[in-house]
Amino acid sequence: MHAERPGSTAMELRAVSLERAGRRVLGGISASFQRHAVSAIVGPSGAGKTSLLRCLNRLEEPTNGSVLLDSSDITEIDPIQLRKRVGMIFQTPALFEGGVRGNLAYGLTDVPDDELRSALVSAGLDDEFVERDSSALSVGQAQRVCIARALVRKPEILLMDEPSSALDRDAAARIEQLVTSLNEGGLTVVLVTHNLDQALRLAHHAILVVDGRVAATGTPREVTGAWPRERSS
């Protein structure tokens, strides 16, 4: 497990609630995520982990409460600019048809080729992948291209929703190594995982979400120790 690393608050949730079709998904969540750290959101399936993550870059809009980025309410930030600053990696990699180059530069103009290649290298791929077709990639390679696509936008924070759960063991290990490497380079990462061992390996800080509420916060070991008690209560 990583040692705790001090850092200022990068993002903060204040009493965030979310309802969907009359059903409570999140109930009054308050939490903070430290800059230059890996924070893990853990909990059982259906607890609201992904919904919480999606609230951090307005893919979900809270019913009540607020989300702050550098002490500014994210509703006051243009959504396109917000999603450049706060990138998102989904559980299943989603690439457009066509070349990797087009996927990396999607929505951007005049991105130098060396920046695209550099992002691929940062994501653990050879820079020649820029010439490949997205349909020829393995699932693990496609996930790393998705990470490179986020890195091209130079995010301050990278949100990752179960980024290795769809991968085989070797590909998942490479994603974990990549998360550690990106964080060591200064990137703030907020990671959703159902894998407690993964949280222990990667995270500086963890939040346990159960039934749409924060059940525990602390080091990953403290939080994973609380999970069995929550399951049996």
- What's the total number of domains in the chain? 1
Task: Decide if 103 is inside a domain.
Answer: no
How far, in Å, are 4, 93, 121, 177 from residue 181 at the CA level?
A: 16, 20, 12, 6
Using a pLDDT cut of 70, give the percent of the chain over it.
Answer: 94
CATH code at 28?
3.40.50.300
Taking each helix axis from N to C terminus, what angle separates 169-184 and 139-152, rounded to the nearest 10 degrees? Answer: 20
Nearest to 175 by CA among 38, 45, 60: 38
Q: Which residues contact 83 (CB under 8 A, 6 or more apart)?
A: 57, 58
Residue 10 has pLDDT above 50, yes or no: yes
For the stretch 157-192, pLDDT in tens is: 999 999 988 888 898 999 999 999 999 999 999 999
Residue 126 within any structural domain of the chain? no
pLDDT at 7 exceeding the cut of 80:
no
What confidence tens digit (pLDDT) does each residue in 15-35 have? 999 999 999 999 999 999 999
* Calpha distance 100→131 (Å, rounded): 6
- 83 within a domain of the structure (yes/no): yes
The reported pTM is 0.91
pLDDT tens by residue, 59-108: 999 999 999 999 999 999 999 999 999 999 999 999 999 999 999 999 88
Residue 54 has pLDDT above 50, yes or no: yes
Give the domain extent around 27: 9-95+155-232
Answer whether residue 57 is part of any domain.
Answer: yes
Would 85 be classed as within a structural domain?
yes
Q: How confident is the model at residue 1 (pLDDT cuts 50, 70, 90)?
A: very low
11 vs 207: CA distance, rounded Å: 14
- Per-residue pLDDT, 5: 52
- Both tokens of 49, joined, read 């982990």
Query: Is there a domain that residue 88 lies in?
Result: yes
pLDDT in tens, 142-160: 999 999 999 999 999 999 9
Q: Are strands 188-192 and 205-210 parallel, antiparallel or unpaired?
A: unpaired
Note whether residue 135 is domain-resident.
no
Q: Residue 127 domain-assigned?
A: no
